[in-house]
Amino acid sequence: MKRALFPGSFDPITLGHYDIVKRGIHLFDEVVVAIGINADKKYMFSLKERQRFIEEAFKNQPKVKVVTYEGLTIDFCKKIDAQFILRGLRNPADFEFEKAIAHTNRKLSKIETVFLLTAASTSYISSSIVRDVIRNKGDYTVLVPDSVNVK
Active-site residues, by number, are: 17, 41, 90, 127
Give strand pairing partners of 88. Answer: 116
Distant-in-sequence contacts of 76-82, Cβ < 8 A, 24+ apart = 76/5, 76/7, 76/34, 77/5, 77/109, 77/111, 78/109, 78/111, 80/3, 80/5, 80/32, 81/1, 81/3, 82/3, 82/4, 82/5, 82/32, 82/111
